[in-house]
Amino acid sequence: MSTTASDPLAALGALPGVSDAVDSVRKAVDRVYGHRVMRRRSNEITAEAALRGARGSAALSGADWNLEEVRRRTDFSGDEESQVIGAALRLTAEAGQLLSIWRQSPLRVLARLHLVAAGGAAPDDTVGRPRLAGEPVDEPLIEAPLPDADEVAGRLEGLSGLILSGSAAPALVTAAVVHGELLALRPFGSYNGLVARTAERIVLIGSGLDPKAICPAEVGHAEQGRAAYVAAFEGYRSGTPDGMSTWIAHCGRAVELGVRESTAVCEALQRGAA
């Protein structure tokens, strides 16, 4: 049996155009990791990438705030947009703490991410678990038909199995599939987009592609715009080779734009302007 036949993620990595996206991402990441500022101030770059990534993810979920407003604000308990920003910030802070658990129990991590997004306190028992039959979903950006609860449970188990079994696929491919599948399933009653983008972040960090978490793909997803994000996701949802290639390339471009953002931060620090 061939490697790709026994490894569905590796098979996606062999699709036309995907290897080019993977190579482009790898070169971009290597360049920012080689920046002279990274040798001395990598913790500052990581912190700034987390802030900018949270802002970008929240923007896609309908809370498109100025970066300085996100940086300045301390109370996110007010209106719905404030709560989305707060959830995104909590998720980026939590992502790095869950890497070892992700490798052992991805479903446990997803439940934890939803609990963190919701603020840790739930008025009922819907937070931190996949939705049951008949339970509503609030996801402002993705309007695709919702899989039913049984399909969600089965596909989550399948996704978990792919992660646990390991793959020869590049990190970008695995991250894109995790992100796309969670968007397609929308397994929770709320914050599915934020959770999906955080799971993508966890894969990129944990895979070793971006171990210092300085390449915020969320920035790139937001920069490409909500319409492009939804259109690329429709490619994933189609399941066709062309559609999957389009989605993976879109995610790759998002990482590259995140790299560009962090490179600009490095340059600013080098000039003493930040």
What value does the mean pLDDT take over residues 218-231?
98
Structure tokens given for 114: 């939803």
Residue 107 has pLDDT above 80, yes or no: yes
Q: How many CB atoms lie within 10 A of CB 138?
A: 11
Q: What is the pLDDT of residue 125?
A: 83
Alpha helices, DSSP H, located in the chain: 3-6, 8-13, 18-33, 38-60, 67-72, 80-95, 99-104, 106-117, 149-165, 171-185, 192-206, 217-224, 226-238, 241-271
Q: Specify the pLDDT at position 213.
A: 97
Whole-number average pLDDT of the chain:
93
Question: What pLDDT, on the 0 to 100 scale, is given for residue 126?
Answer: 87
Mean pLDDT of 91-120: 94
| Pairwise CA distance, residues 44 & 266, whole Å | 9
Return the structure tokens found at 225.
């715009």
Question: What was the pLDDT predicted at 75?
Answer: 85
**Reported confidence tier of residue 2, pLDDT bands at 50, 70, 90:** very low
Section 5-29 average pLDDT: 93
- The lowest-confidence range among 77-81, 121-125, 190-194 is 121-125
How many C-beta atoms surround the C-beta of residue 209 within 10 A?
20
Mean pLDDT of 78-91: 93
| pLDDT of amino acid 256 | 98
Quote the pLDDT of residue 104.
Answer: 95
User: Sorting pLDDT into bands at 50, 70 and 90, what band is 123?
Assistant: low
∠ CA 69-73-77, rounded to 5°: 120
